[in-house]
Chain A
């Protein structure tokens, strides 16, 4: 399809529980990016993939966060043992080319609330 589909739209987890977020990039796009938007609208880059390979993971917290993009499956972002500060909106974006001449196409986000 022509949109980046993120599921679920909302996710509520108790502190210490696992959270798993999904992203289906636009068909034909080989790059996938995950961003975290916290309070005050700040966007933090987490990780990017080129097909199923990690391209850049410099933004990923070393512990508790992991991500995958497997063939024929939506990409996923998993947070083990969630903490209150993980509450944020997580956006996925996809891109056809490494040079983002036309920018990335963003999904509508998954709002994670940790209580």
Chain B
């Protein structure tokens, strides 16, 4: 289908790891992205991964890419209350336009 799919909600306890999953559609996407949106704010780029990579680590964030299954995941280690937000994966389509997933609302329980 045309949708970039994500689970709508995820709740974790503070200090645990969070894993947010995404299934994308365009196998020719060169870059895949994770954005964070806090309430009332715009989108903040968290990290990106090039399509020839399987994994990318950036401090508490780990991105895993399975090109065969078109599956992308974002792991947040030692999740903090400040990580509560909506997380969007995104792929490039058409004339280099970002196409966003449905968003996952992460709630961190103190």
Contacts and interface: CB of A to CB of B under 8 A. Distances in A.
Q: Is the interface of B mostly helix, strand, loop or mixed?
A: strand
Interface stretch (B18-26, B39-47, B75-83): B39-47
A109 B103 CA distance: 17
A48 B42 contact: no
Interface in A24-78: 33, 40-43, 45, 48, 55-56, 58-59
A93 B100 CA distance: 14
A22 interface: no
B96 A41 contact: no
Interface residues of A, number: 26
Contacts of A101: 31, 48
Interface in B80-110: 86, 88, 92, 94-100, 102-103
A16 interface: no
Contact of A98 (B42, B43, B96): B96
Contacts of B44: 106
B51 to A, nearest CB: 12
A55 B41 CA distance: 26
Contacts of A4: 42
B42 A104 contact: no
A108 interface: yes
Contact of B35 (A40, A102, A103): A103
A102 B48 contact: yes
A28 B103 CA distance: 30
Query: Most chain-B CB neighbours within 10 Å: which of A33, A41, A104, A106?
Result: A41
A99 B48 CA distance: 13
A106 B96 contact: no
B97 to A, nearest CB: 5
Contacts of B94: 56, 58
Interface of A: 4, 33, 40-43, 45, 48, 55-56, 58-59, 91, 93, 98-109
